[in-house]
């Protein structure tokens, strides 16, 4: 999408400017949701359990405690949540040993935000060890701060990660645009009072008030994000 990019201070009809952009990681910027599911299938396979494909929509985008806990309960696997968390993180890291594929439009959007010095944060339910690995593909220079799921008492779908990110950037959550790919992340961002751009990866997400749904990041640029502040 090409257009003339306004200055960061450009204001909407309501007289309020976009103050920050907060981005999810898995499935939003990097094409990793399939890697997580493959790791889950492999780990439970080693424990003698097959995962139902329908469960993929249940666990996508969730914090490790929720998704892993659900799979333990659904399968009856004889493993504790801390043990499973380690195995899943290990399995995922094995699958991202090389450069990760970015989602269409991700590199262009990050470069555009950086070029216009828009305060930007990466906000993920993944653990710090995973975020730090993925940042080598995304470029840590694109983010003023990052928030990991194991660094907050309550992660997505609670608003805490997005409230923490907004505060860290000195931004009003109501003047922040959040980009997410799952219902869990959307719920967290909306609970924080942010405007949301949903780019569904695995399960569909309907549009709603202060929520815009697009098919890919190729439909998102800085003028588009400024425009969200008008409603």
Measured distance CA(106)–CA(91) in Å, rounded: 25
For 44-97, write each residue's pLDDT tens digit. Answer: 999 999 999 889 888 776 677 888 899 999 999 999 999 998 998 888 888 876
Q: What is the pLDDT of residue 5?
A: 29
pLDDT (0 to 100) of residue 98 = 62
**pLDDT tens series, the chain, 231 aa:** 322 223 334 343 334 599 999 999 999 999 877 788 888 899 999 999 999 988 988 877 667 788 889 999 999 999 999 999 899 888 888 887 666 789 999 999 999 999 999 999 999 998 898 899 899 889 999 999 999 999 999 999 999 999 999 999 999 999 999 999 999 999 999 999 999 999 998 889 999 999 999 999 999 999 999 999 975
Percent of the chain whose predicted confidence (pLDDT) is above 90: 69
Long-range CB pairs of 191-197, under 8 A, 24+ apart, other chains included: 191/157, 191/158, 191/159, 191/162, 192/159, 192/162, 192/163, 192/166, 193/159, 194/22, 194/162, 194/166, 195/228, 195/229, 197/225, 197/228
CA distance 179 to 217: 9
Cα separation, 229 vs 231, whole angstroms: 6
pTM of the predicted structure, to 2 decimals: 0.77
């Amino acid at each position: 999408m090409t257009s003339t990019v306004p200055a960061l201070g450009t204001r909407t009809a309501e007289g309020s400017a976009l103050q920050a952009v907060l981005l999810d990681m898995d499935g939003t910027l990097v094409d990793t949701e399939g890697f997580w599911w493959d790791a889950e299938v492999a780990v439970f396979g080693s424990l003698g359990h097959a995962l139902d494909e329908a469960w993929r929509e249940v666990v996508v985008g969730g914090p490790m405690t929720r998704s892993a806990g659900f799979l333990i309960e659904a399968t009856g696997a004889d493993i504790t949540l801390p043990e499973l968390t380690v195995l899943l993180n290990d399995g995922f890291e094995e699958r991202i040993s090389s450069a990760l594929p970015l989602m269409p439009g991700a590199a262009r959007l990050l470069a555009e935000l950086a070029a216009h010095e828009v305060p930007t944060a990466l906000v993920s339910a993944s653990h710090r060890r995973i975020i730090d690995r993925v940042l080598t593909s995304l470029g840590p220079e694109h983010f003023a701060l990052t928030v990991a799921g194991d660094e907050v008492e309550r992660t997505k779908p609670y608003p805490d990660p997005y409230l923490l990110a907004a505060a860290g950037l000195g931004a009003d959550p109501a003047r922040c645009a959040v980009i997410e790919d799952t219902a869990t992340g959307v719920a967290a961002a909306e609970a924080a009072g942010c405007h949301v751009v949903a780019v569904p990866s695995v399960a569909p997400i309907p549009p709603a008030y202060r929520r815009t749904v697009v098919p890919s990041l190729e439909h998102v640029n800085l003028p588009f994000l400024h425009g969200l502040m008008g409603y």
